[in-house]
Amino acid sequence: MRATSSIFTLSSLFSLSIAADFNILNVAAKTNPSIVPQRAGFKLTWSDTFSQSRSLSGANWIYDTGTSYPAGPSNWGTGEIQTYTASSQNVYISPSGYLTIVPVRNPRTGGWTSARVETVQDGFKCQAGGQMVIEARILLPGGGNQDGVWAAFWAMGRKFRRGGNHGWPGTGEWDIMEAVNGGDTIVGTVHCGVYPGGPCDEPNGVGGRAGIARDVFNNYALRVDRTSSNWQDEYLAWSVNGAEYHRVYGADIGNAGVWSDLVHEPFFLLLNVAMGGGFPNAWAGIETPTSKTSSGYGMLVDWVAVYNR
């Protein structure tokens, strides 16, 4: 089935909540997607606007499917309960050129499917003396019962992929944006070192929070700054719509080797919407998703970009 089908076709074929599906598709049809903005003093080194086809570019993106990486921990290591697919039921380019990720509940079995994609390129890196910004324009829909919905824009160190999906959290993880349960708070976090404990207090990580509005597009960005000659003064900074809300310095981590793995190595990017798991469960104070969780609430992505200088 093509991603351009009407809400009624989607609803009848996939048993989506009509209200939820109407929300996502009508928002997508309101405006044309923006072009990737320029950043003064930076060079745009990679981007995707999702506007050239109805499916993801195989040159840019890999679909993660199933319930784990090969030889990786079950439930993606977080306790999430969905099965990821590459089906247009769960991931497609909308008529207006937005990447759309939609979790769907099977009305017969109660099981959930969703989608997770990662970039083919895994060499996103901030050079010594420079800066790098990773940014995406994303809409998180409001409404419905979203208990257990876990949307994320994030990155992992290339060593994780090259090491056979092993070595986390030592390979490094940047959670640029995580949002759970339909709430108006997002979290930006780093994971590093060893599990459990270590300089990033795993599995908690070192994180900060910011408030957002739903049903509108927001710009989520992470800036990597290596302009200092002292690794302890290098930092990672999180922002929403240009307003910084969280910063982690090398001195906060306090270990040169861990910081090097976290900041000096190449990374790849990921976008996904999980269902359930430790993070949304902790926020909700209950096991999620529940029988009342609405099908069809995920996220829309206008563009993703990487800038360097």
Domain boundaries, the chain: 7-308
Calculate mean pLDDT across residues 193-209: 98
pLDDT at 137: 97
Multiple choice CATH, 7-308, 2.60.120.200, 3.40.50.12280, 1.10.30.50, 3.30.70.100: 2.60.120.200
Looking at the predicted structure, is the pLDDT value of residue 6 above 90? no
Nearest Cα neighbor of 305 from 50, 24, 41 is: 50
Q: What is the 3-state secondary structure (H, E, C) of the chain?
A: CCCCCCHHHHHHHHCCCHHHHHHHHHHHHHCCCCCCCCCCCCEEEEEECCCCCCCCCCCCEEEECECCCCCCCHHHHCCCCCEECCCCCCEEECCCCCEEECCEECCCCCCEEECEEEECCCCECCCCCCEEEEEEEEECCCCCCCCCEEEEEEEEEHHHHHCCCCCCCCCCEEEEEEEECCCCEEEEEEECCCCCECCCCECCCEEEEEECCCCCEEEEEEEEECCCCCHHHCEEEEEECCEEEEEEEHHHHCCHHHHHHHHHCCEEEEEEEEECCHHHHHHHCCCCCCCCCCCCCCEEEEEEEEEEC
Looking at the predicted structure, is the pLDDT value of residue 16 above 70? no
Share of the chain above pLDDT 90, in %: 85
CA atoms within 13 A of residue 198's CA, in its CB half-sphere: 21
Calculate mean pLDDT across residues 260-267: 98
Do residues 64 and 117 make contact, with C-beta atoms less than 8 angstroms apart?
yes
User: pTM higher than 0.85 for the full model?
Assistant: yes
pLDDT at 53: 78
pLDDT at 1: 25
Calculate mean pLDDT across residues 194-209: 98
pLDDT at 172: 98
The lowest-confidence range among 45-54, 172-181, 195-204, 236-245 is 45-54
- Give the tokens for residue 3: 């991603």
